[in-house]
Amino acid sequence: MKVRSFILAVPFVCVISLQTAAADDIAINYDYTQTPQVDFSKMPKGPLKVAPFIDKRALTPDESRNISSSVAEQPIADIVNNALVQAFEAGGATLVQDGQVLTLEGELTELQVTEKEAGVEVTIRTHVILKKGTQTVFDNVIFGRASASLLDEAMRATLDKLVNSLILDDYFLMEVI
């Protein structure tokens, strides 16, 4: 009986190990390096909290780090959240965990990688909601798309565009500044 169980388990273990070995590790290491275009240092409408983002794609927790056939250093929703936090801080915002008037929540809804002749194109969509207390004051989908020769470069450029689609949105700015 043990031999039959072992024989049945070997192919399963091989398939699992091939899937793990087939995925390349990729370091996004996103740093917001743009010159801040918005001054968030004086937010008269109150302090801002950026809540942890949720991955709404139909994935298991282990798959939440997958980018095409590569695996990022952390879940993609966390990378998007971190990119936005960096942009607010670069603009002078003091972000809080408690005592906030405004809360930014987000849900990663799409991450698409398309092979191109000169490399890859990455698209990220994230649904963001800005709440003032329990009232929703801003609700939109932010979007970034960029191409580069390498996946990590395309991801960073896409994150730059995604961040700018929020922090340069006039309606969003009316609610926070």
Which of the pair, 127 or 99, is modelled with greater confidence? 127
Element (H, E) at 157: helix 151-167
| Structural domain harbouring 117 | 2-176
* pLDDT value of residue 2: 54
* pLDDT value of residue 5: 52
- 31 pLDDT exceeds 60? yes
- CATH code assigned at 33: 3.40.50
The 3-state DSSP class for residue 28 equals coil
- 1 pLDDT exceeds 80? no
Distance (Å, whole) CA 113 – CA 57? 14
User: What is the tally of structural domains in the chain?
Assistant: 1
